Amino acid sequence: MRFASLGSGSSGNSLVIEARSTRVLLDCGFGLREVVKRIARLGLLAEQLSGILVTHEHDDHAGGVFRLANKYRIPVWLTHGTFTMSERYLPSQCNFQVNIIDSHEAFHIGDLHVHPFPVPHDAREPVQFVLGDGQHRLGVLTDTGTSTPHIESMLSKCDGLVLECNHDLDMLMKGPYTWPLKQRVSGRLGHLDNATSAGLLSRLDNSRLKHLLAAHLSAQNNLPHLARNALSTALGCEAEWIGIADQEQGFGWREF
Ligand SMILES: [Zn+2]
Ligand SMILES: [Zn+2]
């Protein structure tokens, strides 16, 4: 099993997760040409995708999903709430299958087990995912304002984690955002800051953890070394061991 990022941040997010011959995209916040280019960077073609999972309707996650799905006839999996909120982006002629998922119910796409779980975020029915091949598990958590006991039980005993480190609270508060936007981002339906993400990490069972990537870093309100320092202190590891999913490059293949 292996995974990589096509880019992460407020201008677009997308992960690729592969188990044997199954390959899924988790979110697609990039335009058609851009995502095809980024997929090629990993040595893949869009035609090789088995499906697209969508976490929620915000543009940086769902903006490019339907165009990609329609062009290459790739089935899409999303909650009813996410579908309702993004229905207006559906093409008039729909060439792909839409699968509505329950935010608590696991399902399969080929060789991949997919376990969604709900998160507190200002969207209609947002979820995040744990994906596995029966041997290894990858946990993904971005776009959540707070942690919950259910989130922490889902992310425990993962072999890999992609964890939101959206902002440094101090940088956000002293930065250029308007007061309402600062409140939204740091609110309980907003995004995880470095310290909250580190606190969550320290409560997980990390005994199997081989890869840890910080994701969805704000270009205005965070710096890679601040995210790394917070997470490495929580884990008791070298800061450099922690990867960063950045906006332009994402990160290359990681393997279990
Ligand atoms: Zn986002
Ligand atoms: Zn969001």
Q: 17 CA distance to ligand 1 centroid (A)? A: 18
Ligand nearest to the CA of 144: 2
The reported pLDDT for the residue numbered 181 is 97
The reported pLDDT for the residue numbered 151 is 98
The reported pLDDT for the residue numbered 194 is 98
Task: Classify residue 36 as exposed, middle or buried by CB count within 10 Å of its CB (0-12, 13-18, 19+).
Answer: middle
User: 111-123 pLDDT, tens per residue?
Assistant: 999 999 999 999 9
The reported pLDDT for the residue numbered 79 is 98
Task: Classify residue 40 as exposed, middle or buried by CB count within 10 Å of its CB (0-12, 13-18, 19+).
Answer: exposed
Ligand nearest to the CA of 60: 1
CA distance 212 to 234: 12
The reported pLDDT for the residue numbered 232 is 98
Residues of the chain with pLDDT under 50: none
User: 8-17 pLDDT, tens per residue?
Assistant: 999 999 999 9
Q: SS3 for 52? A: strand
Q: 216 CA distance to ligand 2 centroid (A)? A: 10
CA angle 249, 160, 28 (to 5 degrees): 45
Q: Is the pTM of this model over 0.85?
A: yes
Q: 87 CA distance to ligand 1 centroid (A)? A: 19
Task: Classify residue 252 as exposed, middle or buried by CB count within 10 Å of its CB (0-12, 13-18, 19+).
Answer: exposed
Q: 140 CA distance to ligand 2 centroid (A)? A: 14
Q: 72 CA distance to ligand 2 centroid (A)? A: 25
Tokens of 109: 């796409």
